[in-house]
């Protein structure tokens, strides 16, 4: 979440389907903007959305905002990293920051990476492929806006 007025933030629920067919929910912070809500954190599990995307959300029966559709893509991409060892997380996050990518940490070894549109995704992918070959991490592309 950024430094905007915290009172203007809303949480939007994204429905997830687990591999075993059960459902789950991820909530993402967003700011109301013309035409919808601009996502203001990196998704860990929600697919096909990324930081900065404008989405449409509608209130459910209990008043919670639920994701309905992507309205305006930001051009950002999202990649998730799972580390074999927690001690490798900081070094990789620092290297990604130097390459122009932000990230968020969860569960000591799970990292969501934001790749802005102006960052060369092929370079990020080469870096991640190298780390995966070394056994440092596994990665998954959650939302790729760049041409591959």
C-alpha distance from residue 130 to each of 16, 99, 108, 134 (Å): 30, 15, 21, 6
Provide the whole-model pTM. 0.84
Residue 10 tokens, joined: 């809303």
Distance CA 135, CA 132 (A): 5
pLDDT digits (tens, 9 = 90+) for 19-72: 666 678 889 999 999 999 999 999 998 888 999 999 999 998 888 899 999 999
Between helix 89-98 and helix 121-133 the angle, nearest 10°, is: 160
Beta bridge partners of 48: none
Q: What's the pLDDT score for residue 7?
A: 64
């Amino acid at each position: 979440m950024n430094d905007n007025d915290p009172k203007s933030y809303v949480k939007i629920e994204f429905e997830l389907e687990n591999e075993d067919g059960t459902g789950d929910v991820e909530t993402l912070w967003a700011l109301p903007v013309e035409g919808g809500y601009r996502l203001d954190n990196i998704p860990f599990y929600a697919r096909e959305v990324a930081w900065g995307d404008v989405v449409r959300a509608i209130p459910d029966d209990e008043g919670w905002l639920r994701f309905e559709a992507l309205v305006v893509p930001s051009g950002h991409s999202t990649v998730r990293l799972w580390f074999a060892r927690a001690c490798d997380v900081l070094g990789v996050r620092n290297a990604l920051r130097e390459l122009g990518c932000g990230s968020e940490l969860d569960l000591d070894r799970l990292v969501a990476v934001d790749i802005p549109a102006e960052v060369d995704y092929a370079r990020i992918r080469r870096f991640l492929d190298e780390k995966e070959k070394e056994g440092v991490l596994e990665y998954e592309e959650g939302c790729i806006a760049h041409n591959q």
